Structure 1
Protein backbone atom coordinates (compact mmCIF):
# COMPACT_ATOMS: atom_id res chain seq x y z
CA UNK A 1 0.00 0.00 0.00
CA UNK A 2 1.33 3.43 -0.95
CA UNK A 3 2.27 5.86 1.83
CA UNK A 4 -0.24 8.43 0.57
CA UNK A 5 -3.00 5.85 0.78
CA UNK A 6 -2.03 5.02 4.36
CA UNK A 7 -2.16 8.68 5.35
CA UNK A 8 -5.48 9.01 3.54
CA UNK A 9 -6.88 6.24 5.72
CA UNK A 10 -5.42 7.94 8.81
CA UNK A 11 -7.05 11.25 7.85
CA UNK A 12 -10.41 9.55 7.40
CA UNK A 13 -10.03 7.72 10.72
CA UNK A 14 -9.16 10.99 12.46
CA UNK A 15 -12.26 12.64 10.98
CA UNK A 16 -14.43 9.81 12.31
CA UNK A 17 -12.83 10.00 15.77
CA UNK A 18 -13.35 13.78 15.81
CA UNK A 19 -17.01 13.42 14.81
CA UNK A 20 -17.64 10.74 17.46
CA UNK A 21 -15.97 12.90 20.11
CA UNK A 22 -18.08 15.92 19.10
CA UNK A 23 -21.30 13.90 19.34
CA UNK A 24 -20.29 12.48 22.74
CA UNK A 25 -19.36 15.95 24.03
CA UNK A 26 -22.71 17.33 22.81
CA UNK A 27 -24.77 14.75 24.67
CA UNK A 28 -22.49 14.90 27.71
CA UNK A 29 -23.04 18.66 27.86
CA UNK A 30 -26.80 18.33 27.42
CA UNK A 31 -26.94 15.74 30.21
CA UNK A 32 -25.36 18.27 32.58
CA UNK A 33 -28.56 20.32 32.33
CA UNK A 34 -26.67 23.61 32.26
CA UNK A 35 -26.80 26.52 29.84
CA UNK A 36 -23.32 25.52 28.65
CA UNK A 37 -24.80 22.36 27.15
CA UNK A 38 -27.44 24.35 25.31
CA UNK A 39 -24.73 26.58 23.83
CA UNK A 40 -22.54 23.71 22.63
CA UNK A 41 -21.88 25.20 19.19
CA UNK A 42 -20.84 28.55 20.66
CA UNK A 43 -17.46 27.17 21.72
CA UNK A 44 -14.47 27.96 19.52
CA UNK A 45 -13.22 24.41 20.13
CA UNK A 46 -16.41 22.91 18.74
CA UNK A 47 -16.52 25.17 15.69
CA UNK A 48 -12.86 24.59 14.84
CA UNK A 49 -13.20 20.82 15.26
CA UNK A 50 -16.25 20.78 12.99
CA UNK A 51 -14.05 22.49 10.41
CA UNK A 52 -11.35 19.89 11.12
CA UNK A 53 -13.74 17.06 10.26
CA UNK A 54 -14.53 18.63 6.89
CA UNK A 55 -10.88 19.36 6.07
CA UNK A 56 -9.74 15.86 7.07
CA UNK A 57 -12.36 14.20 4.86
CA UNK A 58 -11.26 16.39 1.94
CA UNK A 59 -7.66 15.54 2.78
CA UNK A 60 -8.42 11.83 2.73
CA UNK A 61 -9.93 12.10 -0.75
CA UNK A 62 -6.89 14.08 -1.95
CA UNK A 63 -4.49 11.53 -0.48
CA UNK A 64 -6.26 8.70 -2.30
CA UNK A 65 -6.39 10.59 -5.61
CA UNK A 66 -3.23 12.69 -5.81
CA UNK A 67 0.50 12.27 -5.25
CA UNK A 68 0.72 15.65 -3.47
CA UNK A 69 -1.61 17.92 -1.57
CA UNK A 70 -2.57 21.15 -3.38
CA UNK A 71 -1.33 24.33 -1.76
CA UNK A 72 -4.81 25.49 -0.78
CA UNK A 73 -5.41 22.32 1.22
CA UNK A 74 -2.16 22.67 3.17
CA UNK A 75 -3.06 26.27 3.96
CA UNK A 76 -6.59 25.29 5.03
CA UNK A 77 -5.37 22.47 7.28
CA UNK A 78 -2.68 24.66 8.85
CA UNK A 79 -5.29 27.31 9.67
CA UNK A 80 -7.65 24.79 11.25
CA UNK A 81 -4.78 23.24 13.20
CA UNK A 82 -3.84 26.69 14.49
CA UNK A 83 -7.34 27.12 15.90
CA UNK A 84 -7.65 23.62 17.39
CA UNK A 85 -4.18 23.63 18.95
CA UNK A 86 -4.67 27.08 20.47
CA UNK A 87 -8.09 26.06 21.81
CA UNK A 88 -6.42 23.07 23.45
CA UNK A 89 -3.77 25.26 25.08
CA UNK A 90 -6.46 27.65 26.36
CA UNK A 91 -8.51 24.75 27.73
CA UNK A 92 -5.46 23.34 29.53
CA UNK A 93 -4.85 26.75 31.10
CA UNK A 94 -8.48 27.04 32.22
CA UNK A 95 -8.41 23.58 33.82
CA UNK A 96 -5.11 24.37 35.53
CA UNK A 97 -6.37 27.69 36.93
CA UNK A 98 -9.59 26.04 38.10
CA UNK A 99 -7.56 23.44 39.98
CA UNK A 100 -5.53 26.18 41.69
CA UNK A 101 -8.73 27.90 42.78
CA UNK A 102 -10.26 24.64 43.99
CA UNK A 103 -12.95 24.69 41.31
CA UNK A 104 -13.98 21.29 39.98
CA UNK A 105 -13.83 20.94 36.19
CA UNK A 106 -14.97 17.62 34.73
CA UNK A 107 -13.04 16.64 31.61
CA UNK A 108 -14.71 13.74 29.73
CA UNK A 109 -12.73 11.63 27.28
CA UNK A 110 -14.24 13.54 24.36
CA UNK A 111 -12.82 16.82 25.70
CA UNK A 112 -9.40 15.22 26.03
CA UNK A 113 -9.60 13.97 22.43
CA UNK A 114 -10.82 17.28 20.99
CA UNK A 115 -8.48 19.53 22.95
CA UNK A 116 -5.28 17.49 23.19
CA UNK A 117 -4.91 14.17 21.39
CA UNK A 118 -6.52 14.93 18.05
CA UNK A 119 -4.78 18.29 17.41
CA UNK A 120 -1.40 16.84 18.39
CA UNK A 121 -1.73 13.67 16.29
CA UNK A 122 -3.15 15.57 13.30
CA UNK A 123 -0.30 18.09 13.41
CA UNK A 124 2.31 15.31 13.48
CA UNK A 125 0.63 13.47 10.60
CA UNK A 126 0.31 16.76 8.67
CA UNK A 127 4.07 17.23 8.80
CA UNK A 128 4.92 13.60 7.92
CA UNK A 129 2.42 13.07 5.10
CA UNK A 130 4.18 12.51 1.75
CA UNK A 131 3.40 15.29 -0.72
CA UNK A 132 2.99 17.82 2.08
CA UNK A 133 3.69 21.41 0.98
CA UNK A 134 5.20 24.33 2.85
CA UNK A 135 2.95 27.08 4.20
CA UNK A 136 3.37 30.81 3.35
CA UNK A 137 3.86 33.35 6.13
CA UNK A 138 0.68 35.25 5.32
CA UNK A 139 -1.36 32.60 7.11
CA UNK A 140 -0.19 34.08 10.44
CA UNK A 141 -2.32 37.26 10.20
CA UNK A 142 -5.06 35.37 8.35
CA UNK A 143 -5.28 32.86 11.21
CA UNK A 144 -6.49 35.68 13.47
CA UNK A 145 -9.56 36.37 11.34
CA UNK A 146 -11.63 33.50 12.75
CA UNK A 147 -10.94 34.10 16.47
CA UNK A 148 -11.57 37.83 15.99
CA UNK A 149 -14.89 37.20 14.23
CA UNK A 150 -15.83 34.54 16.78
CA UNK A 151 -14.94 36.91 19.63
CA UNK A 152 -17.01 39.71 18.14
CA UNK A 153 -20.08 37.49 17.79
CA UNK A 154 -19.53 36.08 21.29
CA UNK A 155 -19.35 39.52 22.89
CA UNK A 156 -22.48 40.60 21.01
CA UNK A 157 -24.37 37.43 21.92
CA UNK A 158 -23.21 37.14 25.54
CA UNK A 159 -25.40 39.87 27.06
CA UNK A 160 -28.40 38.57 25.13
CA UNK A 161 -28.22 34.99 26.45
CA UNK A 162 -26.45 35.83 29.71
CA UNK A 163 -23.63 33.37 29.05
CA UNK A 164 -20.08 33.33 27.71
CA UNK A 165 -18.15 30.22 26.62
CA UNK A 166 -15.00 31.26 28.49
CA UNK A 167 -14.79 33.10 31.79
CA UNK A 168 -12.22 35.68 30.64
CA UNK A 169 -14.74 37.02 28.10
CA UNK A 170 -17.42 37.56 30.75
CA UNK A 171 -17.39 41.18 32.04
CA UNK A 172 -18.79 39.88 35.33
CA UNK A 173 -15.73 37.67 35.91
CA UNK A 174 -12.90 40.05 35.01
CA UNK A 175 -11.74 43.11 36.88
CA UNK A 176 -12.41 45.49 34.00
CA UNK A 177 -11.54 46.51 30.44
CA UNK A 178 -7.79 46.34 31.10
CA UNK A 179 -7.87 42.69 32.14
CA UNK A 180 -10.24 41.84 29.29
CA UNK A 181 -8.03 43.50 26.67
CA UNK A 182 -4.85 42.02 28.15
CA UNK A 183 -6.28 38.50 28.21
CA UNK A 184 -7.68 38.84 24.70
CA UNK A 185 -4.33 40.15 23.48
CA UNK A 186 -2.50 37.19 24.99
CA UNK A 187 -4.98 34.80 23.36
CA UNK A 188 -4.45 36.38 19.93
CA UNK A 189 -0.68 36.26 20.45
CA UNK A 190 -0.91 32.52 21.12
CA UNK A 191 -2.87 32.03 17.89
CA UNK A 192 -0.12 33.90 16.02
CA UNK A 193 2.67 31.94 17.73
CA UNK A 194 1.06 28.58 16.93
CA UNK A 195 0.54 29.62 13.31
CA UNK A 196 4.17 30.78 13.11
CA UNK A 197 5.39 27.47 14.52
CA UNK A 198 3.39 25.54 11.92
CA UNK A 199 4.81 27.71 9.14
CA UNK A 200 8.38 27.16 10.34
CA UNK A 201 7.92 23.40 10.64
CA UNK A 202 6.27 23.15 7.22
CA UNK A 203 9.13 25.03 5.54
CA UNK A 204 11.87 22.69 6.77
CA UNK A 205 13.57 20.86 3.91
CA UNK A 206 12.60 17.20 3.83
CA UNK A 207 12.61 14.67 0.98
CA UNK A 208 9.25 14.67 -0.83
CA UNK A 209 8.15 18.00 0.63
CA UNK A 210 7.96 21.27 -1.28
CA UNK A 211 8.66 24.69 0.15
CA UNK A 212 6.61 27.72 -0.89
CA UNK A 213 8.17 30.55 -2.85
CA UNK A 214 6.43 33.18 -0.73
Structure 2
Protein backbone atom coordinates (compact mmCIF):
# COMPACT_ATOMS: atom_id res chain seq x y z
CA UNK A 1 0.00 0.00 0.00
CA UNK A 2 1.26 3.50 -0.85
CA UNK A 3 1.51 6.17 1.82
CA UNK A 4 -1.34 8.21 0.38
CA UNK A 5 -3.64 5.20 0.34
CA UNK A 6 -2.66 4.48 3.96
CA UNK A 7 -3.34 8.10 4.88
CA UNK A 8 -6.81 8.00 3.33
CA UNK A 9 -7.59 4.66 5.01
CA UNK A 10 -6.49 5.95 8.42
CA UNK A 11 -8.59 9.09 8.09
CA UNK A 12 -11.59 7.01 7.03
CA UNK A 13 -11.13 4.69 10.02
CA UNK A 14 -10.68 7.60 12.44
CA UNK A 15 -13.75 9.52 11.36
CA UNK A 16 -15.73 6.30 11.05
CA UNK A 17 -14.88 5.42 14.65
CA UNK A 18 -15.81 8.94 15.75
CA UNK A 19 -19.17 8.61 14.01
CA UNK A 20 -19.71 5.25 15.71
CA UNK A 21 -19.16 6.75 19.16
CA UNK A 22 -21.46 9.66 18.33
CA UNK A 23 -24.21 7.22 17.28
CA UNK A 24 -23.70 5.17 20.44
CA UNK A 25 -23.89 8.24 22.67
CA UNK A 26 -26.91 9.59 20.77
CA UNK A 27 -28.69 6.28 21.22
CA UNK A 28 -28.10 6.44 24.96
CA UNK A 29 -29.19 10.08 25.17
CA UNK A 30 -32.36 9.35 23.19
CA UNK A 31 -33.22 6.57 25.64
CA UNK A 32 -32.32 8.64 28.71
CA UNK A 33 -29.49 6.20 29.48
CA UNK A 34 -26.38 8.34 29.03
CA UNK A 35 -24.24 8.73 32.13
CA UNK A 36 -21.03 10.53 31.06
CA UNK A 37 -19.13 9.42 34.17
CA UNK A 38 -19.99 5.79 33.47
CA UNK A 39 -19.55 5.91 29.69
CA UNK A 40 -16.20 7.66 29.65
CA UNK A 41 -14.83 5.42 32.41
CA UNK A 42 -14.76 2.36 30.14
CA UNK A 43 -11.32 1.27 28.95
CA UNK A 44 -12.85 0.62 25.54
CA UNK A 45 -14.27 4.12 25.19
CA UNK A 46 -11.14 5.87 26.41
CA UNK A 47 -8.89 3.85 24.12
CA UNK A 48 -11.34 4.43 21.26
CA UNK A 49 -10.82 8.17 21.73
CA UNK A 50 -7.08 7.54 21.59
CA UNK A 51 -7.57 5.50 18.42
CA UNK A 52 -9.43 8.37 16.77
CA UNK A 53 -6.52 10.72 17.46
CA UNK A 54 -3.97 8.14 16.28
CA UNK A 55 -5.90 7.38 13.09
CA UNK A 56 -6.35 11.05 12.18
CA UNK A 57 -2.80 12.07 13.11
CA UNK A 58 -1.45 9.01 11.30
CA UNK A 59 -3.52 9.82 8.25
CA UNK A 60 -2.16 13.35 8.08
CA UNK A 61 1.41 12.12 8.57
CA UNK A 62 0.99 9.51 5.84
CA UNK A 63 -0.29 12.14 3.41
CA UNK A 64 2.48 14.62 4.20
CA UNK A 65 5.60 12.62 5.11
CA UNK A 66 7.35 9.61 3.58
CA UNK A 67 7.78 8.03 7.03
CA UNK A 68 6.01 8.18 10.38
CA UNK A 69 7.88 9.76 13.29
CA UNK A 70 9.29 7.67 16.14
CA UNK A 71 7.08 9.50 18.66
CA UNK A 72 3.91 8.78 16.70
CA UNK A 73 4.92 5.16 16.14
CA UNK A 74 5.54 4.72 19.87
CA UNK A 75 2.04 5.97 20.68
CA UNK A 76 0.66 3.82 17.88
CA UNK A 77 2.44 0.77 19.28
CA UNK A 78 0.90 1.37 22.72
CA UNK A 79 -2.62 1.84 21.35
CA UNK A 80 -2.14 -1.31 19.27
CA UNK A 81 -1.67 -3.32 22.47
CA UNK A 82 -4.75 -1.69 24.04
CA UNK A 83 -6.86 -2.52 20.97
CA UNK A 84 -5.83 -6.18 20.99
CA UNK A 85 -6.57 -6.50 24.71
CA UNK A 86 -9.90 -4.72 24.25
CA UNK A 87 -10.91 -7.16 21.52
CA UNK A 88 -9.68 -10.16 23.51
CA UNK A 89 -11.36 -9.23 26.79
CA UNK A 90 -14.66 -8.39 25.11
CA UNK A 91 -14.85 -11.46 22.89
CA UNK A 92 -13.49 -13.95 25.44
CA UNK A 93 -14.84 -12.63 28.76
CA UNK A 94 -17.68 -10.18 28.21
CA UNK A 95 -19.57 -11.00 25.01
CA UNK A 96 -21.90 -13.56 26.62
CA UNK A 97 -22.05 -12.01 30.10
CA UNK A 98 -25.60 -10.73 30.87
CA UNK A 99 -25.70 -6.96 31.24
CA UNK A 100 -28.46 -5.46 33.35
CA UNK A 101 -28.08 -1.89 32.12
CA UNK A 102 -29.14 -0.26 28.87
CA UNK A 103 -28.45 -2.59 25.93
CA UNK A 104 -28.49 -0.08 23.10
CA UNK A 105 -27.57 -0.70 19.49
CA UNK A 106 -25.49 -3.79 18.84
CA UNK A 107 -23.43 -2.82 15.79
CA UNK A 108 -21.35 -0.04 17.45
CA UNK A 109 -20.00 -2.62 19.88
CA UNK A 110 -18.98 -4.87 17.01
CA UNK A 111 -17.16 -2.04 15.26
CA UNK A 112 -15.39 -0.90 18.43
CA UNK A 113 -14.49 -4.34 19.77
CA UNK A 114 -13.89 -6.32 16.57
CA UNK A 115 -13.41 -4.32 13.38
CA UNK A 116 -11.40 -1.37 14.68
CA UNK A 117 -8.86 -3.61 16.49
CA UNK A 118 -8.54 -5.64 13.29
CA UNK A 119 -7.86 -2.48 11.26
CA UNK A 120 -5.27 -1.34 13.83
CA UNK A 121 -3.44 -4.68 13.66
CA UNK A 122 -3.46 -4.69 9.85
CA UNK A 123 -2.23 -1.09 9.80
CA UNK A 124 0.74 -2.09 11.97
CA UNK A 125 1.53 -5.16 9.89
CA UNK A 126 1.31 -3.84 6.34
CA UNK A 127 1.52 -0.03 6.26
CA UNK A 128 4.78 1.39 4.90
CA UNK A 129 6.79 4.13 6.59
CA UNK A 130 6.95 2.68 10.10
CA UNK A 131 10.37 3.23 11.76
CA UNK A 132 12.03 0.51 13.82
CA UNK A 133 11.47 1.23 17.52
CA UNK A 134 14.07 0.97 20.25
CA UNK A 135 13.30 -1.45 23.07
CA UNK A 136 13.18 1.40 25.58
CA UNK A 137 9.92 2.49 23.97
CA UNK A 138 8.23 -0.50 25.60
CA UNK A 139 8.03 1.41 28.89
CA UNK A 140 5.30 3.62 27.41
CA UNK A 141 2.81 0.73 27.18
CA UNK A 142 1.86 0.37 30.90
CA UNK A 143 1.48 4.10 31.63
CA UNK A 144 -2.16 4.49 30.62
CA UNK A 145 -3.44 1.06 31.81
CA UNK A 146 -1.89 1.58 35.27
CA UNK A 147 -3.48 5.05 35.53
CA UNK A 148 -6.84 3.68 34.33
CA UNK A 149 -6.77 0.78 36.81
CA UNK A 150 -5.93 3.12 39.69
CA UNK A 151 -8.80 5.41 38.68
CA UNK A 152 -11.26 2.52 38.23
CA UNK A 153 -10.50 0.95 41.61
CA UNK A 154 -10.64 4.33 43.37
CA UNK A 155 -13.92 5.18 41.63
CA UNK A 156 -15.39 1.84 42.64
CA UNK A 157 -14.36 2.37 46.25
CA UNK A 158 -15.86 5.87 46.55
CA UNK A 159 -19.00 5.15 44.50
CA UNK A 160 -20.22 2.21 46.53
CA UNK A 161 -19.03 -0.55 44.23
CA UNK A 162 -19.50 0.78 40.69
CA UNK A 163 -16.83 -0.83 38.51
CA UNK A 164 -16.64 -0.65 34.71
CA UNK A 165 -16.18 -4.42 34.34
CA UNK A 166 -17.30 -7.31 36.58
CA UNK A 167 -13.82 -8.86 36.80
CA UNK A 168 -12.58 -5.69 38.55
CA UNK A 169 -15.25 -5.80 41.26
CA UNK A 170 -13.68 -7.32 44.41
CA UNK A 171 -17.14 -7.80 45.97
CA UNK A 172 -18.13 -10.33 43.33
CA UNK A 173 -14.84 -11.56 41.88
CA UNK A 174 -12.74 -11.37 45.04
CA UNK A 175 -9.47 -9.48 45.47
CA UNK A 176 -7.43 -12.52 44.52
CA UNK A 177 -9.18 -12.79 41.19
CA UNK A 178 -8.99 -9.03 40.60
CA UNK A 179 -5.25 -8.99 41.25
CA UNK A 180 -4.77 -12.05 39.03
CA UNK A 181 -6.63 -10.33 36.17
CA UNK A 182 -4.58 -7.16 36.61
CA UNK A 183 -1.28 -9.04 36.60
CA UNK A 184 -2.32 -11.18 33.62
CA UNK A 185 -3.49 -8.20 31.57
CA UNK A 186 -0.31 -6.27 32.42
CA UNK A 187 1.85 -9.16 31.26
CA UNK A 188 -0.19 -9.51 28.07
CA UNK A 189 0.05 -5.78 27.31
CA UNK A 190 3.82 -5.67 27.77
CA UNK A 191 4.20 -8.92 25.83
CA UNK A 192 2.16 -7.54 22.93
CA UNK A 193 4.25 -4.37 22.98
CA UNK A 194 7.42 -6.46 22.83
CA UNK A 195 6.08 -8.41 19.85
CA UNK A 196 5.11 -5.16 18.09
CA UNK A 197 8.57 -3.67 18.64
CA UNK A 198 10.27 -6.87 17.50
CA UNK A 199 8.15 -6.79 14.34
CA UNK A 200 9.15 -3.16 13.71
CA UNK A 201 12.82 -4.13 14.03
CA UNK A 202 12.65 -7.14 11.74
CA UNK A 203 15.14 -7.27 8.88
CA UNK A 204 13.48 -5.45 6.00
CA UNK A 205 13.44 -2.12 4.18
CA UNK A 206 12.01 -0.09 7.08
CA UNK A 207 14.26 -1.62 9.75
CA UNK A 208 17.36 -1.35 7.56
CA UNK A 209 16.64 2.27 6.78
CA UNK A 210 16.28 3.05 10.48
CA UNK A 211 19.60 1.33 11.15
CA UNK A 212 21.55 3.06 8.41
CA UNK A 213 21.68 6.87 8.76
CA UNK A 214 25.37 7.68 9.34
CA UNK A 215 25.93 4.67 11.57
CA UNK A 216 23.70 5.91 14.39
CA UNK A 217 21.74 3.54 16.59
CA UNK A 218 18.07 2.74 16.15
CA UNK A 219 15.37 5.25 16.92
CA UNK A 220 17.16 8.31 18.25
CA UNK A 221 13.90 10.28 17.92
Q: TM-score, normalised on structure 2?
A: 0.83
Match of 2:23 in 1: 24
Task: Report which stretch shifted further, 3-12 or 155-164.
Answer: 155-164
In structure 2, relative to structure 1, the CA distance for the partners of 1:131 and 1:191 (3 Å cut) is same
Q: Would you say 1:85 and 2:102 are equivalent positions?
A: no
Shifted more, 64-73 versus 132-141: the winner is 132-141
> 2:166 aligns to what?
167
**Which 10-residue stretch deviates more, 120-129 or 161-170?**
120-129
- 5+ unaligned residues in a row in structure 2: which ranges? 212-217
Secondary structure, counterpart of 1:20 in structure 2 = helix
| Distance (whole Å) between structure 1 residues aligned to residue 20 and residue 117 of structure 2 | 13
Report if the CA contact (8 A) 1:52-1:80 is conserved.
yes
Q: How far is the alpha carbon of 1:145 from its aligned partner? A: 1.2
Shift of 1:167: 0.6
Counterpart residue number, 1:133: 131
**Which aligned pairs between 1:196-211 and structure 2 lie closer than 5 A?**
196-209=194-207, 210-211=209-210
Partners of 2:182 and 2:35 lie apart in 1 by: 21
* Structure 1 unaligned residues grouped into runs of 5+: none
Cα RMSD for the two superposed structures:
2.4
Deviation by residue 1:82-118 (Cα, 9 ceiling, x = unmatched): 11221111111223563xxxx3696811111111211
Give distance in 2, aligned partners of 1:65 and 1:144.
Answer: 30
2:172 aligns to what SS in structure 1? coil
Provide the aligned length of Structure 1 versus Structure 2. Answer: 208
**Is the contact made by 2:83 and 2:120 (CA closer than 8 Å) also made in structure 1?**
no
Take 2:9 and 2:41, find their aligned partners in 1: how far apart are those partners?
28
With over 3 angstroms needed to count, the CA separation of the structure-2 counterparts of 1:161 and 1:104, relative to structure 1, is closer
Partner of 2:114: 116
Residues 118 and 91 of structure 1, relative CA distance in 2, 3 Å threshold: same
